[in-house]
Amino acid sequence: MTSIAADSRNPATFEPTHRRLTVLKTQPGGRHGAARWGVIGLALGAIALQVASFFQPWWWIKLYAPQYPKGLKMVISLTGVTGDVAEVDILNHYIGMAKMNDAAPLERQLAGYGIAFVGVAVLAVALLAGKRLNRLLALVGFVFPAAFLTDSFYWMYRFGHTLNPEAPIRLPPFTPQLFGNGKIGQFMTFAQPSAGFWLAVAAFVLLAAAAFARSRVCAGCARRGTCGAVCADAFVGPSAGAAS
C-alpha cells in the first residue's frame, strides 16, 4: 500500500512511502478451542461417575411379612448381593428358588472390565469420532445402565420361572418386581434404584450434553465439509478446527 506524506515546510512537496500490512491467520484457539476442551471435560466427568458407580450399590429390594416387621433388605451391586441374603435364601428354598448369589455369575466377574471398556470407549469417541458419529457419545453412556436393567430383569424372570417342583411350597411362576411395590406369596416387596445406578444415569446425562456440545463445535469447524467417520485432528489436536 502507498501512502502520501506531505513536507510540513512545503505542502507542494510529496514523498511516497511504502508500508507492509501483516496478514493475520485464524488459529483454532480462543472460544472455539475452549468449547472443544469443554466437551472433553464433560466426557472425563462422565468416566469418573461411571468408575464411582462401580463402588456403590445399584439397587435394593426389601421384603415385608408379619414375621419380619422390620423387613429383609438385599443390596445389589455390580459385584454381588449383600444384606439379609442368608435369611432370604432360606425363605427362597421353601418355594424352590435358587440362591441369590447364583444370579449373574459371569456378569459379576466382568463388571470391572465393562466399566473400563466403557471409559475407554467414551474417550475414544470423544477424541476420534467424525461429526456424523457425535451421537455415539451419548449412546455409549446409555448402554451400561440399560444393560444392567435388562440383565437384572432377565435374572428376576429366570429365578421366578425356574422354581423347583419338589419345593415344600408351590407357587405359580412369577417375576419379582424391579420397581416399586410387588408381592411374592405372603411377602410384600419394594424395590428401587440406588446410588450406583443414579451415578451411571448422571454419566449418561453428561455424555448427552457432551454429544450436543460436540455437534455444535463440529458444525463450526473449518473442516466440516470434508469430515468423515473419523476426526483427523483428534478433536483437540494442535490443528483442530483450522482450515487446511
Q: Note the pLDDT of residue 15.
A: 53
Enumerate residue ranges in the chain where pLDDT < 70.
1-32, 242-244
Q: Note the pLDDT of residue 85.
A: 96
Report the predicted TM-score, pTM, of the whole model to 2 decimal places. 0.82
Distance of CA 36 to the CA centre of its chain: 19
Q: Note the pLDDT of residue 120.
A: 96
Q: Note the pLDDT of residue 4.
A: 44
Q: Note the pLDDT of residue 132.
A: 86
Helix axes 136-161, 30-54, angle to 10 degrees: 20
**Is 196 exposed, middle or buried, given 0-12, 13-18 or 19+ CB atoms closer than 10 A?**
buried
Q: Which of 210, 193, 183, 182 is nearest to 43 (CA)?
A: 210
Q: Note the pLDDT of residue 25.
A: 44
